[in-house]
Amino acid sequence: MRPSNIILLILFGSLCACNSYREHPQPIAVPTLKKGESFFNKNNDSAFYYFNLVATTATDSLEVAMAYTYMGIIQAYEGDHYGGQESLLKSLTYLDERKEKDQECLGSNYYELGNVCLNLKNYEAAIDYYRKALTLLKPPGDQAIALNGIAVTYQKKGDYDQAIDIYKSLLVKSKDEKIEYARILSNYARAKWMKDSTYPAGPELQQALKIRRDSNDIRGLNASYAHLSDYYSQSRPDSALYYAGKRYEKAREMNSPDDEVEALSKLITLSPTDLLKPYFIRYQYLTDSIQTAKNAAKNQFALIRYEAAKSKADNLQLQKDNAQRKTQLVIQRFILVLTVLFFLTAGIVLILRHRRRQQEMAIASQREIQENQLKTSQKVHDVVANGLYRIMTDLEHKTAMDKEDLLDKIEVLYERSRDISYDDPVSSQAPFYVKIDDLLASFGSDHVKVLVVSNSPVVWELVNAQIQHEVEHILQELMINMKKHSQADSVMIKFERQNGRVQIIYTDNGIGISSQVRYGNGLRNTENRIRSIGGKLTFEHPDKGVKIHISFPIDRLS
């Protein structure tokens, strides 16, 4: 198996091992509003407990708001008006009037806040909350209830005219709703009488009482008996006492201690002296019980909230402890995985670096071999091929040639070719411009005229021996190619020096070189040599012949 495959296998196994320890949290059941609503008005302590759980655990803002609203209603009903007000105000912080789904809950909240403020005799605040409820309550019946609350508040405040105006408008709207009509009619008659004690409110109060009796509206009957008892207190005390007794019966029937206390208070005021004692004892007992019940309710609600908060805090602490233990375990596993990954990564890096080093060495070795082959090929071409070609040219064009001179040239060529891989440029005692003249002239004949222009010592001043060696072989290659391929009978080579560069212009009138020509070893060697001295080679293709521009800096290898 390859090392990289082993590393991947180990890494995969480590990750699988870590993954096997991962714990999936179990979903926690969240209490719902329905649970609290199932106890509402039946067992308000249990209802409050579940609503409080929803308020402290639910994530939906509307559910939280509704839970606080229910809690506020329960608290106010049990006599804890300030606690109820606090819960209702808390509910408002989770609601947005711009959201349609929140508006119904907002309307109910404002209405209940109006009731709480009314009971706390904070009349201005009560009116303000009732008016806010009016803007959000949609059903006409709900709006009528809110308007009635405003009218009752004005009535208790002593602003009877405004209360009467509201009652009048509601009477017209509620004719088809008997129970609502009776309630508004009774309140209207009471407000008129309270404004003017001479107002004959009796017929209207009796009409409202009849409607409530026919409808079996127990709470409505309780209110009618209270209104009639107050109305007849001065003019007909016996009737007032009768209706106070009737109210006392209804209050006991409704099991409403607050209404029973109010009825007993009226009975104590109206009853003969010999009948006062049982009423007074009952009154004293109830007032003490009511106060005790209110205090107990406050304490019970506070206890429920405390226990819920403590339970939540304990759960949070437990979760925190578990989270810390899990964090420590995760950190330990992370360190283990990190250590494994470090060594795996280090191993992979070392393997990759070793492979890359081997590849670089192989590439460098191959490049060195190629460069040596190229140099050897150039030397073979320059020393052997071009040397032989020059000897052949001499034999072809010189009518008389000294045999000894020819043997000397062949011997030199032989000696240079014996150890060609160590061949260094051969220095000559003759000036370089003379050497170039001799080289170029050697390619002239009766059929080919070679014209050399401006090849002077100034051109080659400060040009080092290496560049001279390369230039000699470049020119030799050009002349050999001319001799072999161009079919030219006139060749001109011009030399000049400009801006620190030597310019050589080669021109012949031969058949030229096609722009699509494929270069042989000779031309490729020529281009390589020119690049090695930082020069440029440019071909022109006139109508006849060829024109070659060569330029190079004089200090490239100096």
**Secondary structure of 211-233 in the HEC alphabet?**
HHHHHCCHHHHHHHHHHHHHHHH
In which residue are the tokens 């407000």 written?
Answer: 191
Residue 427: what pLDDT? 55
Distance CA 223, CA 257 (A): 15
- Domain formed by 429-553, architecture: 2-Layer Sandwich (3.30)
Residue 27: what pLDDT? 39
H helices, E strands: number in the chain: 20, 5
CA angle 143, 148, 153 (to 5 degrees): 130
Backbone φ and ψ of 500, nearest 5°: 75, 15
Burial of 56 (0-12, 13-18, 19+ CB in 10 A): middle
Residue 369: what pLDDT? 56
Q: Specify the amino acid at residue 376.
A: T
Residue 346: what pLDDT? 86
Contact partners, residue 509, CB within 8 Å, separation at least 6: 488, 489, 490, 544, 545
DSSP labels, 109-147: HHHHHHHHHHHTT-HHHHHHHHHHHHHH--SHHHHHHHH
Residue 413: what pLDDT? 66
Beta pairing, strands 546-553 & 501-508 = antiparallel
Which residue ranges in the chain fall short of pLDDT 70? 1-31, 293-294, 296-298, 300, 302-303, 305-318, 321, 362, 365, 368-390, 393-409, 411-428, 514-522, 556-558
Residue 62: what pLDDT? 92
DSSP labels, 80-105: -HHHHHHHHHHHHTT--TTSHHHHHH
What are the strands of the beta sheet with 546-553, ordered from one edge?
449-453, 490-498, 501-508, 546-553, 536-540
For the chain, the domains span 429-553
Bridge partners of 552?
502
User: Residue 271: helix, strand or coil by DSSP?
Assistant: coil
Would the pTM count as exceeding 0.85? no
- The string of pLDDT tens digits covering residues 363-379 is 875 776 566 666 666 66
Residue 279: what pLDDT? 86
Residue 412: what pLDDT? 62
- The string of pLDDT tens digits covering residues 218-277 is 999 999 999 999 999 999 999 999 999 999 999 999 888 888 889 889 998 988 888 888
Question: How many Cα atoms sit within 13 Å of 259 on the Cβ side?
Answer: 24
Residue 6: what pLDDT? 39
Cα-to-chain-centroid distance, residue 396: 87
Cα-to-chain-centroid distance, residue 343: 34
Residue 309: what pLDDT? 62
* Structural contact between residues 250 and 238, judged by C-beta atoms closer than 8 angstroms: no
Beta pairing, strands 490-498 & 449-453 = parallel
Contact partners, residue 538, CB within 8 Å, separation at least 6: 548, 549, 550
DSSP labels, 435-462: HHHHHHHTT--SS-EEEEES--TTTTTT
- Pick from 139, 141, 142, 87: which is nearest to 113 by CA? 87
Residues in the chain: 558
Residue 374: what pLDDT? 62
